[in-house]
Chain A
Amino acid sequence: MLRIDPQLLQDLRRHGEETYPHECCGVLVGRRAGEDRVVASVVRCGNAQGDRLHDRYTIDPRELLRIEKLSRSRAQEIVGFYHSHPDHPARWSQTDLAEAHWLGCSYLVTRVAAGRAEVTNAFLLAGSGEEDKRFVDEEIRIEGAGPEPARAGGGMP
C-alpha cells in the first residue's frame, strides 16, 4: 500500500496538468513501514526525454543522485516515482515495465485528459529481478494531517 498526504497527491497530479500535453515525472521520498511505502515529500523532476515529451519520460540520473543524497540527509529514502499519461489511461504501459528497475518501489500514473488530471493509479514493481519483474496494482491510501486540501476542480480518483 502507498500512503500519501492529500496535498502531496494533489501536487503530483497538478504537475501533470502543468506539463500537459507533455508527460511530467518526479520522485516520491519517504519511508517504508512494513509492507507500506509512506510518502513524506514529492520531488518534481524535469523530463529529460529529448524528443518525445508527449509520450515518454526520463529522469536525469544526476537528478536522482541529488534526490538520493537529500533523502539520506533526512534519514529517508526513495520509495517511488510518478509520471503522467497525457490523454491516455492511468495504467502502466509495456514501455513503463521495460524501463522500470526499482524493485519494491511504487510507480504512480496519472491520466491527464485535455489538461485536467483524472485518475491516479499506483503500481508496485514486484519480483526479484529483470527476469520476473511485474507491476502489481497497489492501493493508494490518502492520509495525513496536512491543511485542508484544495480539491476545487480536482476530480480526485
Chain B
Amino acid sequence: MTRVFVPTPLRPYAGGQAAVEVSAATVGEALGALTARHPDLRKHLYAEDGRLRAFVNVYRNEEDVRYLQKDATPLREGDTLSIVPSIAGGR
C-alpha cells in the first residue's frame, strides 16, 4: 500500500482526510486510484487537458516525480506520496 498525503486545501475534497492509502505500482496509478475514490479531487490536480496542473508538485518520499519517471515512477511497498501545491507570488 502507498500512503498519499493530501495537503490542507485539498482535504475537503478527500473526505477530510490528511492521508489516503491506495494500492498502486506507479505514481500514475496511485493518483488514479486516489481520484477514483475522491472524484472531486480531479479538477484540483489535473488541468482540462488531463495533465497534472503546473503548480501541483508530487513527491515520492523526498523526490519530485517530475525528475524521476513522472506518472511511470514506480512505487514500492512503504513508499509515500505527497501532493504539495506550490507557494509563490510577489508584488
B26 sits at the interface (CB 8 A)? no
Collect the chain A residues with CB atoms within 8 Å of residue B49's CB: none
**Set B8, B64, B82, B88: member contacting A59, Cβ < 8 A:** B88
Which residue of chain B has the shortest Cβ distance to A98 in the bound complex? B89
Collect the chain A residues with CB atoms within 8 Å of residue B8's CB: 77-79, 102, 104-105
**Set B18, B43, B84: member contacting A61, Cβ < 8 A:** B84
Which segment, of A3-11, A50-58, A146-154, faces chain B?
A50-58
Map CB proximity to B onto A59-79 as digits: 1 under 8 Å, 0 otherwise. 101101100100010000111
Q: Contact check, A61 vs B57: say whether CB atoms are below 8 A apart.
A: yes
Collect the chain B residues with CB atoms within 8 Å of residue A130's CB: 44, 53
| Interchain CA distance A134-B61 in the complex, whole Å | 32
Q: How far, in Å, is A122 (CB) from chain B's closest CB?
A: 14
Number of A-B contacts (CB under 8 A): 93
Which residue of chain A has the shortest Cβ distance to B44 in the bound complex? A129
Chain A interface bracket (under 10, 10 to 19, 20 to 34, 35 or more): 35 or more
Q: Contact check, B55 vs A101: say whether CB atoms are below 8 A apart.
A: yes
B9 sits at the interface (CB 8 A)? yes
Collect the chain B residues with CB atoms within 8 Å of residue A100's CB: 89
Q: A61-B59, A72-B18, A129-B44 are in contact. Are A102 and B91 (CB under 8 A)?
A: no
Collect the chain A residues with CB atoms within 8 Å of residue B5's CB: 68, 72
B85 sits at the interface (CB 8 A)? yes
**A-B complex: 4 closest residue pairs judged by Cβ atoms:** A56-B90, A96-B89, A101-B85, A99-B88
Q: Contact check, A93 vs B89: say whether CB atoms are below 8 A apart.
A: yes
Map CB proximity to A onto B64-91 as digits: 1 under 8 Å, 0 otherwise. 1000000000000000001011111111
| Interchain CA distance A96-B85 in the complex, whole Å | 14
Collect the chain A residues with CB atoms within 8 Å of residue B85's CB: 101-102
B7 sits at the interface (CB 8 A)? yes
